[in-house]
Structure 1
Amino acid sequence: MPIAPSARSHADDLAAFVEASPSSFHAAAEVARRLEDAGFIRLDESESWPATAGGRFVVVRDGAVIAWVVPPTATPATGVRVFGAHSDSPGFKLKPKPTTGRLGWLQAGVEIYGGPLLNSWLDRELRLAGRLALDDGTTVLASTGPLLRLPQLAIHLDREANDRLALDKQSQTQPVWGLGQADSADILGELAREARVDAARIRGYDLVTADAARGATFGLDDVFFASGRLDDLASVHAGVVALERAADDFDADHVAMLAVFDHEEVGSGTRSGAAGPFLSDVIERLWLSLGSDREQQLRALAASWCVSSDVGHSVHPNYAEKHDPVVQPVLGSGPILKINANQRYATDAAGAAVWNAWCSAAGVMSQEFVSNNSVPCGSTIGPITATRLGIRTVDVGIPILSMHSARELAGVSDLWDLARVAEVYFRG
């Protein structure tokens, strides 16, 4: 079936969003930029927050951002509808003393971040991006164009490479970025130049790798979309698009909220992760600005929902035995409802019912995802949010292939359908 123009346009916009978001810090900044362009007001945690209706957002905690729309009829007991996602992706992070090398090659000292598919990072042009902390206490964002590459050993020097490829996580994952001697070069200088600051002022940094290639559609009728960082920028982007659209003439009986967290790929246990206090702090301050007391806050929590959106596995045609033999979501057939008996996902019967109702209202098909019993699944921010706040939570997402690859694969229509359901969810 041909892809709808709206879905194709959404995929093109996602490609631009990912390109502008090579790190979690850039992703938070890009969300903020788009929201400000849409008329949302930036708030500061150190100042009091207004109780007036309209769109607000706060970006204070590293690569995390939370935005919301307050309806004109909000009361001290008004509930919240949270759409949660995360801004980080598996890859490599720059170590201290990062300029290394040997035998005439300049290399970057990197540490593995999260659980990337290591072989997928071979023979690609990579960017380096993140934040630089300067001597005056300020931070600046910095990113390069194509700078690094992890060159694979030629088949002539490893005749068994096609039989098995196992990379040593220390000695064989250090990318090259130039020629020369390490004592005469400085990779941080490349970032400083891009950020237009003096490299001597850098006192700290958080820098990660990202695929330098732009996202693209392809396949019969352009049904596929390939890009880096779809896990989980596909959900972040869908949430931003949905919140912007819902904010126009917003008149619901709840607050619509987008919560984008950092560090999901390493467990979420940080001040900017889902296990930290960011979301609970923002929600409490929101209700306090509306004049709520503790009882009204608890009533509002009981009336609230969280949709935790993260990617899930599509059935793989070459590895069917890795999937459940019956429940087999596929690209192009709609977003997925993620279910796990051991509560690795927070979905329950009530959550399944409302998710299907939201999909029906949006005119969107939905699929279910469950793991093969012999291949346990990962987890998401959903159970963390449900545990911390007691909010009813449902885990959803889009099906993809090549999860945790440097370049993942999604269905163009699924990306747009997720944003459509998110808008219905926000509008109520």
Structure 2
Amino acid sequence: MSDLLVIQELLDFLGKSPTPFHAVQQVTEQLLKAGYVRLDEKQSWQLAPEGKYFTTRNDSSLIAFHTGRHDPTEAGIRMMGAHTDSPALKVKPSPVTINKGYLQLAVEVYGGVLLNPWFDRDLSLAGRVSYKTNDGILKNALIDFRTPIAIIPSLAIHLDRTQNESKKINPQTDLPPILAQVSNSENFSFESLLKDQINDDALAEVLDWELFFYDTQLPAEVGLNKEFIASARLDNLLSCFIGLQSFINSDASQPALIVFNDHEEVGSASASGADGPFLKQVLERWIGDSAETFVQTISRSLMISVDNAHGVHPNFASWHEPDHQPILNSGPVIKINANQRYASNSTSQALFRHICQQVNVPVQVFVVRSDLACGSTIGPITATNLGVNTVDVGVATFAMHSIRETAGAKDPLLLLKALQHFFNSSSISA
């Protein structure tokens, strides 16, 4: 696949994945096309040597693996992890309000959202709807309105001239998007609106939903020389897409796995999150539940946790540690934290550096300023739950957790090159 095609397909993937459910749907389609067999967690698994498999949980998390030509107990497993969720505004269970003749939906903040950029954007709505059919069968459907159906207007500067000096946002009162003008006596049904989005003639009743607002502006190449990419959800769907491409385009000779967890942005504590049992249960079904076999395999394995890193912003460089300032388009970033907010250690860092050296991929390092708090990833959680040697890396990014983030156009290609070599590598232990 050419470099230009990789970037274009990345942008397409981002645009078609407004929610974790849609992202997993996109990944599923690509895995099936590449010959991977879907496994049902409720059924017995019969795994074959050199087999290619995947399974999903909650429609929002996914694990794919190929068994390879070697015994994982001897060869270890090459693991790459990322997350499917991004900070967003999530629709509440009873959301409809009519105020001053405007139809609005109540929302709650999902994750560490940078709220200011959500104002004055063309918003749409997407997610999963659960419903009952005429026969009493419960089903789920993914919906996406696609077109702009809502907006959160700013307050005019004339009414509050302090906004440019200090703007405090109240998530309860300031964020409900406006969808329409209606009469106060009009009986609006949100459930009927959702029914119109579901293509099922047998639909009888909408029972529940998990819906998120998102910006309809399409992902794009930006810059005089198109050296940047700008999009919603670069954190962390960029990592999911590049991890997927490196995985399905590897030679599949080695035991290898990718895991894309939901709920990282809210702590990972769920059945489908990294702090849940999903990955360990899949590994036990693959390599067996013998404690000795499991520990032998994990001790020879390596997890590369891939999540975006903070690129140094030229207007705000003082917010970075002086000697650890990642530059966009300068290669993947190893993320290090003394308090284990990242799982990187000298051994796993050296292994990743060695992998990158073998394919001429430059490496950068990020350490947060000592007087600032540090974010985290699925890396420390996975390392804690499995005992697997782990390194946290990522692509340098501007405006992380904004409604629109920016990354370098070269970095996804460099990360792809490193990860594909990792999946093909015959040795992953020090």
TM-score tier after normalising by the smaller chain length: over 0.9
The answer as to 2:91 corresponding to 1:94 is yes
Normalising by structure 2, report the TM-score: 0.93
1:7 is the counterpart of 2:12: no
Change (3 A) 1:186 1:200: farther
Q: 2:229 aligns with which of 225, 229, 232?
A: 225
1:137, distance to aligned residue in structure 2 (A): 2.0
* Residue of structure 1 equivalent to 2:279: 279
| Separation in structure 1 between the aligned mates of residue 91 and residue 109 of structure 2, nearest angstrom | 9
Q: How far apart in 1 are the matches of 2:419 and 2:183?
A: 52
- SS of the residue 2:417 aligns to: helix
Give the whole-Å Cα distance in 2 for the aligned partners of 1:61 and 1:420: 31
Is the partner of 1:318 in helix, strand or coil?
Answer: coil
Give unpaired runs (5+ residues) of structure 2. Answer: 426-430
**SS state of the match for residue 155, structure 1?**
coil
CA distance in 2, matches of 1:33, 1:189: 30
> Which 10-residue stretch deviates more, 94-103 or 382-391?
94-103
Residues 290-369 of structure 1: pairs in structure 2 closer than 5 A: 293-369=290-366
Aligned residues of 2:93 and 2:208 also touching (Cα < 8 A): no
CA deviations on 1:225-246 (whole Å, 9 max, x unpaired) are 0000011001000111111101
* 1:232–1:310 contact (8 Å) kept in structure 2: yes
**Structural mapping, 1:141-160, within 5 Å:** 141-145=142-146, 146-160=148-162
- 1:218 CA displacement: 1.2
Q: For 2:113, what is the secondary structure of its paired residue? A: coil
In the TM superposition, what is the alpha-carbon distance from 1:177 to its structure 2 partner?
1.1
Task: Give the AA of the match of 1:218.
Answer: V
Matched, 1:196 2:183: no
Instruction: Specify the alignment match of 1:259 in structure 2.
Output: 259
Aligned partner of residue 201 in structure 1, secondary structure? strand
The reply on whether 1:242 has 2:264 as its aligned counterpart is no
Q: C-alpha offsets along residues 167-222 of structure 1, whole Å, 9 cap, x if unaligned?
A: 11111100011111475223443333222247751111111122211100011210
Q: Which position in structure 1 is the counterpart of 2:428?
A: none
Q: Say whether the 8 Å CA contact 1:7–1:412 is kept in structure 2.
A: no
For the pair 1:137 / 2:138, whether they are aligned, the reply is yes
Q: Which amino acid aligns with 2:384?
A: T
Contact 1:102–1:181 (CA under 8 A) maintained in structure 2? no
Residue 416 of structure 1: which of 396, 407, 413 is its match? Answer: 413
Q: Secondary structure at the match of 1:141?
A: strand
* Contact 2:72–2:297 (8 Å) recurs in 1: no
Secondary structure (helix, strand or coil) at the match of 1:238 reads helix
After the TM superposition, which of the residue ranges 400-409 and 18-27 deviates more from structure 2?
A: 18-27
Residue 67 of structure 2 corresponds to residue 70 of structure 1: yes
Question: Which residue of 2 is the match for residue 161 of structure 1?
Answer: 163
Number of matched pairs? 417
Which stretch shifts more, 402-411 or 197-206?
197-206
Counterpart-to-counterpart distance in 2, 1:357 and 1:186: 58
- Note the alpha carbon deviations across 1:251-293, whole angstroms, 9 max, x for none: 22xx1111000000000000010000000000100113xxx73
SS of corresponding position for 2:10:
helix
Deviation at 1:75, TM superposition (A): 5.6
Contact 2:228 2:409 in 1 (8 A): yes
Determine if the alignment matches structure 1 residue 185 to structure 2 residue 188: yes
Cα contact 1:15–1:215 (8 A) shared by 2? yes
Q: Is the 8 A contact 2:67 2:256 kept in 1?
A: yes
8 Å contact from structure 2 (residues 124, 214) kept in 1: yes
Whichever residue aligns with residue 186 of structure 1, its letter is S
Paired residue secondary structure (1:47): coil
Instruction: Give the secondary structure class of the aligned counterpart of 2:194.
Output: helix
Structure 1 residue 76 displacement after superposition: 5.4
Deviation of 1:6 after TM superposition, in Å, equals 3.5
- The one-letter code matched in structure 2 to 1:282 is V
Q: Can you give the 5+ residue segments of structure 1 that lack an aligned partner in the other structure? A: none
Q: How many Å separate the matches in 2 of 1:234 and 1:189?
A: 35
SS at match of 1:151: coil
What's the TM-score, normalizing by structure 1? 0.94
- CA deviations on 1:65-116 (whole Å, 9 max, x unpaired) are 0001111333655521110000000011110111222111111111111111
- 1:40 — aligned with what? 36
Amino acid at match of 1:57: F
Which structure shows the higher helix fraction? 1
Secondary structure of the residue that 2:371 maps to in structure 1?
coil
Q: Distance in 1 between matches of 2:195 and 2:331?
A: 43
Quick one: which amino acid aligns to residue 338 of structure 2? A
The Cα offsets for residues 358-389 of structure 1, whole Å up to 9 and x where unpaired, read as 11123211110010111121111100001000
Partner of residue 397, structure 2: 400
The whole-number CA distance in structure 1 between the counterparts of 2:252 and 2:265 is 33
The answer to whether the Cα contact below 8 Å between 1:83 and 1:239 also exists between their aligned partners in 2 is yes
How many angstroms apart in 1 are the aligned matches of 2:99 and 2:205?
Answer: 27
Instruction: Say whether the 8 Å CA contact 2:73–2:296 is kept in structure 1.
Output: no
Q: Is the 8 A contact 1:144 1:190 kept in 2?
A: no
Distance 1:150 1:200, change over 3 A: farther
Aligned 8 A contact 1:7 1:415 in 2: no
